[in-house]
Amino acid sequence: MSRCFNFSAGPSELPLEVLEQVRDELLDFRGTGCSIMEISHRSKAFTEVHNETQQMLRSLLDIPEEYDILFMQGGGHMQFSMVPLNLMAPVSADPSRRGGGCYIVNGTWSRKAAHEAGRLGGISIAAEGDETNVPQQQDLRIPEDASYVYYCDNETVHGIEFNYVPDTGRVPLVADMSSNILTRPFDIRKFGAIWFGAQKNFGIAGLTIAAVRHDLIGRAPENCPVMLDWKSYSSKNSMLNTPPTFAIYIANLVCHWLEKQGGVPEMAKRAAEKSGALYSVIDASDGFYSGKVKPAFRSRMNVTFWLKDESLNDLFVEEAAALGLKNIRGHRSIGGMRASVYNAVPTEGATQLADFMKDFERRHG
Ligand SMILES: Cc1ncc(COP(=O)(O)O)c(C=O)c1O
């Protein structure tokens, strides 16, 4: 068997120990005589996994009881719709007049989220970044009657990460943390809601999680489709219908793995080491490699860079792959290279990629 170092932006690498445990209990899940994929979501064996996963996530992220943890499907794109449907609150006695969402836009995913919210109600833009930076607190314009302020904590395509939590006063703050959840401690009490897809740092595609403060649940309009109302998940412990059982099981194993590794603080330390190793090579390369994101906002998860001579791109990708360093091509919308160093990518993967980059520069620079 030969496993590569996988720098995919998502779905992405899983911890080897998790995959091994899946393999070991695939045919007979803990004495049930069936795989976990073959048992009812209401069975004792599965509900134990489901409840434990919620509890472990609560503890890993220090989420207090005033927040509900919801397990959903539909991915990030469904949350782009659910956030406005659930949070655009009535601004007057007339329930059809709802306060708009206010969006900080600085990359692909916040732009998509703002666009979808704009289809569903009024929105305003608090500030716009130029896809190399993060708008700063003093630049945010937040209308008084905004129902919420929304931003994306880590823009996966461009590799831009917020270096602060916006202060929005009394207006609830909502964050898309799809690509950096569980990679650094943060204080959820500063947020009304956060959400993330599982397929980068919490397992596999098919599971989407939100942590929502109680008072923000139950605000969706009467005619909101049941499956798009956070309340439907919160009132039924995310078991309104059949949940994505296999994805929840994988998330459970990832929680155990994270705990064993030392939890979120340890992940933060490793993320700084891994991304730091790559940014150091870029900065020392005298233009052979260059990044576009301003250093203060460089993502610790998605390291984006360009080769000065783009005719070397294919060779760079091929040679890296031959060394087992895979999936480093940049997003199709912006080109270049992108190495995603999520939690499951070992530090050794990042150092081997950094060594390869130095060697490639020596031979072609
Ligand atoms: C930060 C972020 N938000 C949202 C999305 C969209 O997620 P999905 O593909 O699950 O709809 C992605 C996808 O990579 C992402 O990285």
Same domain, 255 and 270: no
Residue 98: the pLDDT is 67
CB 57 within 8 A of CB 69: yes
Q: Is residue 22 part of a domain?
A: no
Cβ atoms of 207 and 244 within 8 Å: the answer is yes
How large is the average pLDDT for residues 22-29? Answer: 97
Digit-coded pLDDT (tens) for 79-126: 999 999 999 976 655 555 567 999 999 999 999 999 999 999 889 999
Q: Are residues 251 and 277 in the same domain?
A: no
Q: Specify binding-site residues.
A: 42, 109, 156, 176, 199, 241-242
Residue 299 CB–ligand 1 contact under 6 Å: no
Q: What is the pLDDT of residue 190?
A: 98
User: Ligand 1 centre from 145 Cα, in Å?
Assistant: 28
Q: Residue 75: CB within 6 Å of ligand 1?
A: yes
Same domain, 236 and 268: no
Which tens digits make up the pLDDT trace of 214-250? 999 999 988 999 999 999 999 999 999 999 999 999 9
Note whether residue 45 is domain-resident: yes
Q: Beta 123-128 vs 101-105: how paired, if at all?
A: parallel
Same domain, 169 and 289: no
From 242, 260, 278, the end of a domain falls on 260
Q: Quick one: which H or E segment has residue 20?
A: helix 16-24
β-strand partners of 6: 326
Ligand 1 and 109: CB distance under 6 A = yes
Q: Which of 68, 153, 195, 200 is catalytic?
A: 200
| Candidates 109, 153, 195, 230; catalytic one | 109
Total tally of structural domains belonging to the chain: 2
206 lines ligand 1 (CB under 6 A): no
| Contact status, residue 123 vs residue 115, Cβ threshold 8 Å | no
Which residues participate in the annotated binding site for pyridoxal 5'-phosphate? 109, 156, 176, 199, 241-242
Q: In terms of domains, do 148 and 86 share one?
A: yes
The verdict on the CB of residue 176 being under 6 Å from ligand 1 is: yes
Give the residue whose CA is nearest to atom 10 of ligand 1: 75
Query: Helix, strand, coil: what percent of the chain each, to 5?
Result: 40, 15, 45
Ligand 1 within 6 A of CB of 153: no
Residue 305 sits in a domain whose CATH number is 3.90.1150.10
Known catalytic membership, residue 176: yes
Tell me how far CA of residue 157 lies from CA of 132, 197, 217, 332, 338, in angstroms: 11, 15, 31, 9, 8
CA quadruple 206, 235, 89, 221: dihedral positive or negative? positive
Active-site entry in 68, 153, 176, 229 = 176
Question: Does the active-site annotation cover 109?
Answer: yes
Do residue 222 and residue 290 come from a single domain?
no
For residue 254, give the H/E element and its range.
helix 245-261
Task: Evaluate the CA torsion angle 37, 40, 45, 48 in order and state its sign.
Answer: positive
Same domain (yes/no): 315, 206 = no
Please choose, from the candidates 286, 268, 301, 284, the residue with its C-alpha nearest in 3D space to the C-alpha of residue 107.
Answer: 301
Residues 296-331 pLDDT 10s: 999 999 999 999 999 999 999 999 999 999 999 999
Q: Do 239 and 302 fall into the same domain?
A: no
Whether residues 218 and 282 share a domain: the answer is no
Q: Which of 200, 227, 196, 199 is nearest to 210 (CA)?
A: 196
Q: Which of 179, 194, 342 to mutate to test the pocket of ligand 1 (most atoms within 8 A of CB)?
A: 179
Q: How far does residue 151's CA lie from ligand 1's centre (Å)?
A: 13
State the closest ligand 1 atom to the C-alpha of 152, by its place in the atom list counted from 1. 1
Residue nearest (by alpha carbon) to ligand 1 atom 6? 76
Ligand 1 centroid, distance to 66 Cα (angstroms): 26
Q: pTM for this one?
A: 0.97
CATH number, residue 199? 3.40.640.10
* Residue range(s) defining the domain that contains residue 315: 5-14+263-364
Residue 253 pLDDT > 60: yes
The verdict on residue 23 lying in a domain is: no
So what's the pLDDT on residue 49?
Answer: 98
Burial class (CB in 10 A: 0-12, 13-18, 19+), 137: exposed
Q: Which two tokens stand for residue 297?
A: 């906002």
Among 243, 260, 277, give the residue marking a domain's end.
260
- Side chain identity, residue 338: R
H/E stretch holding 211 reads strand 208-213
Rounded to the nearest integer, the mean pLDDT of the chain is 96
The verdict on residue 64 lying in a domain is: yes
In sequence order, what are the beta bridge partners of 67? Answer: 213
Mark whether 68 and 217 lie in a shared domain.
yes
CB 7 within 8 A of CB 354: no
Pick the last residue of a domain from 245, 260, 275: 260
151 and 267, same domain (yes or no)? no
Same domain, 126 and 271: no
Among 12, 116, 151, 156, which is best to mutate for testing ligand 1, by the most ligand atoms less than 8 A from CB? 156
Residue closest to 299 by CA, chosen among 276, 280, 270, 332: 276
